[in-house]
Structure 1
Amino acid sequence: MPPEHIDGSNPKNKRVEQLADNFASGILMPSYVMQRYYGKIRYDDDQFIDWLNESASEIKVSSAAFLWRLVNHQEVPRSFAKEIMGTDWLSFNGGRLKDEETPELFSSKFLSVLARALQKALISERRVSTLLDVSLDELEITFQKHDIESPLVL
């Protein structure tokens, strides 16, 4: 089913955009991650903005996205969030890494699953290389970095 083509500004589009934002929020900040933040600090505390910015940086999302996730979980009132969004207090830090910090290409869990699939010949090495847009040499190095025995036959 192809999605409905949407052009121009339609009030209905705003709701679609909200749902898309909520879906993305749930993926980037799942409930089991957010549990450690719920109920930890009061929004009327003087340190709230600092806590919000630090917490968002910790899980590598923007402070605004983190704030709206708290609003959706009813930890922070919507009116207060709108007030904060009208200021320059939030450090739009989503996904920014420290200069010395470089993220890994793939997670260990993903590479473990991939290694098993390659060992069982469920997918070819060349297909993996094409799908992931990495050379076989780069993939070999990535397995080594994660201390996973490489299933590649070079």
Structure 2
Amino acid sequence: MSTTDFDFYQGEWTVANRRLKDFLEERSGWEEFTAVSRASRHWANFDEIEFPTMGFKGLTLRLYDTEREEWSLYWSNDRRGVLDPPVVGRFGPEGRGVFYGDDTYQGKDVRVRFLWSDITATTATWEQAFSVDGEETWLTNWVMESVRRG
């Protein structure tokens, strides 16, 4: 774990998205769309993602707390213009990142989990899941499979 954990994501990526139409309803059906992500490292880690067919853009700000040795990941999009509450966590020795946080979705309190996995020089997978029962069960509601461009 270090300030360089997300360096693998620097650069430009084509992102295949698969997301539930309703993040809390498994039967709502999946929608698929592409995106382009551009990531860079400053004193923090940052990426901006554009979803051309969906009509919006988003960004993630990742900050590493050197005392706690953990990351805080903040999401925002141009539809709302605010930072969502962070998910916080770290990468394990196997190279998989797990991050948790609390948020609301359509007025319901949800526990949020982000997973970063299958990381190579040219690919990475991100997943979002929600729990409404104290982490007893998780519903994966968004998967992004990134492939490095160029």
* Structure with the bigger percentage of helix: 1
TM bucket, shorter chain: under 0.3
TM-score (norm 1): 0.23
* Structure with the bigger percentage of strand: 2
Q: Which has the higher contact order (CA 8 A, sep 6+)?
A: 2
Larger radius of gyration: 1
